[in-house]
Structure 1
């Protein structure tokens, strides 16, 4: 089977991003915040087809945290709930609270299996390129799988330049295209993927073989995910960016969002990866 990019269709991975840094139970009663809630969500999403969970944790007051004391109980709870059946990816999102050195220190202290890093946060234009380069190479050496978050085509070009300069080492990482971050109403459409892929190809990243995934905002999240998979990518789904089903109704939980995407792609004979297959892809 070939996809519209002309390549043999590969199994796809689904990641769940179940909460994000800012939303709370007032946004949705099933949005997981505590370690116990994250553990139950992980179990539900594993059953719905997830291979990875993108983890945000909170302080006791419900606000965003990158602190080891807040991360450790959540990581332990999720691992007890699902064992090795999900890749646990930690966020380094700053949310206007953390500096790049603090974001880096969190991952160095926790040494997770995987972590997401926004290029524009870890390496702002006025930032220390040596600090970011050292961190990117540390993750590669320590086998912490990085996912570099790219918000627009300019970010793709910058990522390509960092690859060309050696600041980002080849292999053992992937990227995430964030669709519609700057769209009116922050609502994504499948067409938002096209500028990313154009820049990706222009800079030779398609030939480099680095895997990529998308996340999207709003009720077309499932359509964006389906388009990404058909074009050779992977998808991240969940309440962090979207709480609506394709018909505009509010999803009962994160697992329902995943199940919808899995069902649509299953109808096209495209199988979801499990965590072991995802680890092999990213190794």
Structure 2
């Protein structure tokens, strides 16, 4: 049976690695990100996954840069804002912890495999998030990541209320396309978790629809994961990807 409640749509408009050479209107500055947020909200986005860049265009976890962009995003009403703690090859777990501590965001994504590079920081990190009321969405790529998260939950490192997870199908580097069949193998490992999904490659929309039918809370779309429509053409902007997903959800779940 289909899940008749439409998942919320999250847009990831830039990510950590792409630049203007990948798409001319990929948003990098606070003003560009705010403009993308406005158009995506109008197209049907409910939430935004935020990456910020430094003056050289590199991925950054600088709390000051985050604050500047979050101020610019305040004008977009009704849009949930989630910051990332992604390492992207630039940061280690103590620096990721410091970002959360300095910024104290309302919502953040945390990759369990990245934090596990320094596993001793996991307990203080999740304690910090609980104490400062930072909602956590755990990033997982496979069953091994889910097993690690489950072990942390069993040990009390991850609190019961810290039950959100986003599954990533495929990968940016090394490049690997996601496929809907991958989701079926992960669903039994997500018992007791509120799951969301994003996917790389030409099957992105099919992956997201499969997740919607399985009861996903959020579906993440946008230039971080994919620049192309299902027919292979390039999306003109993030808002077009959001609008297409919303229309397909309305068709499939009606």
| TM, length-normalised to structure 1 | 0.85
Q: Determine whether 1:94 maps to 2:78.
A: no
Out of 196, 200, 212, which is 1:217 matched to?
A: 200
Deviation digits for residues 244-268 of structure 1, max 9, x if unmatched?
0000110001111111111011113
**Residues of 2 paired with 1:267 and 1:186: CA distance?**
28
> Taking structure 1 as reference, are residues 128 and 268 closer, same or farther at Cα in structure 2, changes over 3 Å only?
closer
Q: Is this contact kept in 2: 1:87–1:113, CA < 8 A?
A: no
Matched residue SS, 1:69:
helix
**Residues of 2 paired with 1:48 and 1:143: CA distance?**
30
Q: Is this contact kept in 1: 2:199–2:225, CA < 8 A?
A: yes
**Residues of 1 paired with 2:43 and 2:163: CA distance?**
25
**Residues of 2 paired with 1:135 and 1:248: CA distance?**
41
Matched residue, 2:105: 112
State how many pairs are aligned.
Answer: 253
Q: Determine whether 1:142 maps to 2:132.
A: yes
Deviation digits for residues 75-107 of structure 1, max 9, x if unmatched?
111113x03x11111110111211101111111
Q: Is this contact kept in 1: 2:4–2:253, CA < 8 A?
A: no
* Runs of 4+ in structure 1 over 3 Å off: 182-185
Out of 72, 77, 96, which is 2:72 matched to?
A: 77
Q: Determine whether 1:47 maps to 2:42.
A: yes
Q: Is this contact kept in 1: 2:53–2:59, CA < 8 A?
A: yes
**Residues of 1 paired with 2:18 and 2:172: CA distance?**
19
**Residues of 1 paired with 2:119 and 2:175: CA distance?**
33
**Residues of 2 paired with 1:47 and 1:165: CA distance?**
43
| TM, length-normalised to structure 2 | 0.94
Deviation, structure 1 residue 183:
10
| Aligned residues: CA RMSD | 1.7
Q: Determine whether 1:240 maps to 2:235.
A: no
Deviation digits for residues 134-174 of structure 1, max 9, x if unmatched?
21122123221100000111111111111111110011441
Q: Determine whether 1:251 maps to 2:239.
A: no
